[in-house]
Chain A
């Protein structure tokens, strides 16, 4: 379970403090598939970083009682001068899981071929995203945080994600943030809308989508 209680987040800007989140309350249980809709700049990535625990709230509480992935985004989490394989080893060491038996899976899933042993800075953004996804599957979390990433790959990669993530790991929690309604409809049972620094909860996914679409 992840629980946010009265969470606020403010950032220092040149024009003073900017409040991105103004008191967010939400509880997400094990196995839930949550979609969070929000327009550009609504604070989606900030929210996902708070879920992940890589940034701390300005006030309020975040409680976690399941293992949560890092925010799977466009591969900013990799060291460019290291190879894909080095990055796999590093991340496995940090999370305390073995990596030897994962190399084959990573190579196959991420479709990197010999590039697995090349520096990540030579990768395309699609390759980075695939590597990020593959490594997170290797560590095997209870909850996956996904920041728009599914939009990166092509149709084939999309299908693979569908199988590996949403079919084989269907018992896990997914929190997907996106500004695209159809992604949320495809993967999520429950949808929330991030607007004006607050998270709007709906009992019916379609109500959330309607609410979101009326914003635009």
Chain B
């Protein structure tokens, strides 16, 4: 019998957590996308349509006339990066209530539910980004990334920010219902400040100093630096972003711990 008990050792804990997150992922895919039609492909398609739509609008309003940067590459890197933390937090802001029944199983913890939802969003955003870039490359619309490794590094740091923020808003939402309504507004209003819509280099100096306090800005700069190489001037500081993520993560973990202690089953 594989059920374990007593004081589980660390590796045992990791094994159980991997098992639980695996089970939650499969369950989440079925409950969210169903088994009918194209089902699971919506994970990929949803963010892809979003990014394509935005790209099309930007192209149509001739934003490419404003800057000499390739507009499609600019839109895709910006919006795909944005989706990473935006959709993850939106999915986590009310993650507990519909899943409360799962908490009847000792091994299922609140943070597992949050991690599962984030992983799904990250998978969707990443896959849609990859598909768009590859397809557009073959259509001769975009070039391939100059420094893919550095781009992936920035991408992963953005995922980390998304996870940390999701922990914070996911836990906060269990304390008060207002958080949910509030977060959607904050999420939307924060959109122009988080780097998707501009390059830091375009901004006046005093604005640059200001936006560089926002971790996501560094991530998007990194993604673009990786995409275009040294053809553009970027202002990221990966160490600052990692420190910021660590800070957010610690707040998030503490809040999730607090939330978990207060969970009351029906």
Q: Which residues of A are interface residues toward B (Cβ below 8 A)?
A: 11-12, 49, 52-56, 64-68, 70-71, 76-79, 81-82, 86, 89-91, 93-97, 139-142
Q: Is B97 an interface residue (CB 8 A)?
A: no
Q: Complex: how many Å from CA A78 to CA B27? A: 12
Q: Complex: how many Å from CA A55 to CA B104? A: 9
Residues of B within 8 A of A11 (CB): 264
Contact partner of A49 (CB less than 8 A), chosen from B23, B107, B265, is B265
Residues of A within 8 A of B263 (CB): 55
Asked whether B6 lies within 8 Å of A54 as measured between CB atoms, the reply is no
- CB of A21 to closest CB in B, whole Å: 14
Asked whether B26 lies within 8 Å of A93 as measured between CB atoms, the reply is yes
Query: From B101, which residue of chain A is reached at the shortest CB distance?
Result: A77
Asked whether B27 lies within 8 Å of A76 as measured between CB atoms, the reply is no
**A-B residue pairs in contact (CB < 8 Å), sample of 6:** A68-B5, A77-B105, A79-B27, A82-B27, A95-B107, A96-B19
Q: A55-B264, A76-B101 are in contact. Are A66 and B5 (CB under 8 A)?
A: yes
Q: A55-B264, A79-B31, A93-B19 are in contact. Are A71 and B6 (CB under 8 A)?
A: no
Asked whether B19 lies within 8 Å of A54 as measured between CB atoms, the reply is no
Asked whether A54 lies within 8 Å of B5 as measured between CB atoms, the reply is no
Q: Complex: how many Å from CA A56 to CA B262? A: 9
Q: Is B134 an interface residue (CB 8 A)?
A: no
Contact partner of B101 (CB less than 8 A), chosen from A55, A64, A79, A95, is A79
Q: Is B140 an interface residue (CB 8 A)?
A: no
Residues of B within 8 A of A70 (CB): 104-106
- CB of B20 to closest CB in A, whole Å: 5
Asked whether A94 lies within 8 Å of B23 as measured between CB atoms, the reply is yes
Query: From B100, which residue of chain A is reached at the shortest CB distance?
Result: A76
Residues of A within 8 A of B26 (CB): 89-90, 93
Q: A65-B6, A82-B30, A97-B1 are in contact. Are A71 and B22 (CB under 8 A)?
A: no
